[in-house]
Structure 1
Amino acid sequence: MIFYNAINTCISFLCVTFSDCGFCYLIPAIIKSENIMLVVFWISVVLILFSYAIYPIILRVLAFKYKPKPDGTCEDELPFVSIIIPAFNEESVIAHKIDSVLAGDYPSNKFEILVGLDASTDRTNAIVKDYIEKYSFIHLFSFDERRGKPSVVNDLVNASHGSILILTDANVFLAKDTVSRLVQNFSDQEIGLVDTNMINIGIKKDGISSQENAYISREVQIKHLEGIIWGCMMGPFGGCYAIRREDYPHVPPHSLVDDFYINMKVLEKGKKAINDLKAWVYEDVSNSSRAEFIRKIRIATGNFQNLARLAHLLWPPYSRIAFAFFSHKVLRWFGPIFLILSLVSSAALLSQHWIYAMAFFGQLILIFGIPVLDLLLKTMHIHITPFRFIVHFYSMNLALLIGMLRFLKGVKSGVWTPTPRNQA
């Protein structure tokens, strides 16, 4: 009861301090209501579990009745493809990137490569020009003003000629049959967008790359099931995906997560979005906790930016798009709020039942104890995988919370610095 009274006193103090806000007067009454705290606790727990555990199980159950579709598209039906590569200071990877495209099995008279440099200051320009001298189907667009990836992609799409567009990052490398695998999916006229299967390289034990790889692999499977069941994959990973030219939307200025916006606009048109697990691409995963955290904050800010633009797709709530959007994305984006509510409500219920005491102190250990212990163990070169996954989960939710606050402050630019990778 002492802890409960302390929380109530603190909140009462805050309510007096912020007395201009009428809603604040309601908070002490809410805290005093054990029934409401019970509801808040269990709703928060259930919503967290639903997004991360129950929803994937639902997908696996529903997917049992769906059989894999046969591959399509004969060689004489191959469409012309535009491979679009936005880049900023990618001198360490751009040659490898172009080589991976040239080494593919897609006929060279059936594709073009468009490289857009977003005011690069390194040797990327010179490297691409060397390729242009050898290959007439490679085109370079060098922009003097730094505007961000979405604006560069918009311009490259306008300059392209392909009926199928492959949007791909400079540090993502294609397998020999990646383009062919992506293209053959479009023999189904209902499909508007196809994502690749990202194979992560450069994984190390001492950083977070192993946990990031596990998270990405799980997300790939969830998105694959969404595509199989509803044709409603919730966003490509952005490193490499294909879209019909007719379905490409103009991405709004200052966008931070353009690939999800593009995906949802395809679904809004009534087309399907899927991923092809046989269309492999390779990308290294960042091993720097700090760099990855900064990247996740940027993505989180863009997530809420997209939620504001695409909220209408949550209605009607029984539609396939709304259910997948809400279950897979929206609940996760608000995960930090649910985690805070579960912590506060379990604290308020501390003396009511042992289960809430366990929940409260368990969360304190997970949020504060495990990260500190993991940090100490890392200094001794000891890596305990479960600890690292717990730290990864909470750091991801902290990034979401910071991203939410940054979105509320306003997004004034779509420019960001790419995450340092391991290829350099």
Structure 2
Amino acid sequence: MKNKDLLLSGAGDNTRLAHLGNDPTDYYGFVNPPVVRASTVLFPDAQAMADGKQKYTYGTHGTPTTDALCEAINELDGAAGTILLPSGLAAITIPFLAYLSPGDHALIVDSVYFPTRRFCNTMLKRMGVEIEYYDPLVGAGIEALIKPNTKLVHLEAPGSNTFEMQEVSVISAIAHKHGCVVTMDNTWATPLYFKPLDHGVDITMQAATKYPSGHSDLLMGFVSANKEHWDTLNEANMLLGLCAAPDDSYQMLRGLRTMGVRLERHQQSALAIAEWLEGRDDVGRVLHPALPSFPGHDIWKRDFKGASGVFSFVLKAGADEFKAKSHAFLNALKLFGLGYSWGGYESLAVPVGLSDRVVAKAPEGGPVIRLQIGLEDVADIRKDLEAGFKAASAV
């Protein structure tokens, strides 16, 4: 065991984030790992080339830079292995392609990230995979939905845009009883606030574009697997030939170092704003798992170590005012940017469309607006939102 391993044994999250993924003694004392840009890797002789057993054989199969990031994520997730992919959506699609075949049935949570639903409804259905969406609050009721050909159950907690909490351990145990692979999108919480593999999930995915990057300038996805499912996942990714660039991996590892302290600030500010919104007459409902009023709060409190900076609220409006009030609110914002994604240092706001839901009902009483609370001062964030509410009330 290296000195670094002894140092990190039992250490806190921020200590581990500061030191995971690189041992300076391996690279002449340099704190950060080198950026190794590579396609071709040379072999010392013909026999070594025939064996193909040296550590690095080709750029798509990893470099010291990408390995440093994978090692860090393995440690955070408690995983047997991690693959790096060029986007968060790719982090969803590769496991689906790895474990599903024509004729299989997959259960997908109905509060799922929309691009995941789009992939399921197009690519997977064209491949002959039967897709069924289930209520995020189904809990043990998932057993009634499992068929003889069900091969995969996909979770996302909290759910995209409406933040429903799921009974992850319960669903995982039932799915395993029927021989299903369990996958979960853990982008909202990151492994700092929830570790899916500790709750029975087999494959955990993250859009690393969000909090691990933290600066709105990188696209990447992480997929980590337990020991039982790692070989199949790794083989599928090698067959498809997807990989992440060394320069992006270096920047991602650098972003990872500060993720803990950034998440603490996101959490603190978002909860302050959520509590403030909950007291407003022009807000119908606040969708934030850390609020005691939220229906899934008890599950969040039991299973999660924290909350990130993304949540939604319902802006009160009559049925004929939805679009006008939503646009007026959003257009009046100056500090908040109107843009997709989240997890960066800046606050963002987007209108939420929920017409794609199959079984899970959308909140009633007005348009749903999703906020990403950034690292700005809470007083300034509130002032900007006040301008939005003032504009909406004038409609």
> What TM-score do you get using the length of structure 1 for normalisation?
0.23
**Larger Rg over CA atoms:** 1
More helix, by proportion: 1
> What TM-score do you get using the length of structure 2 for normalisation?
0.24
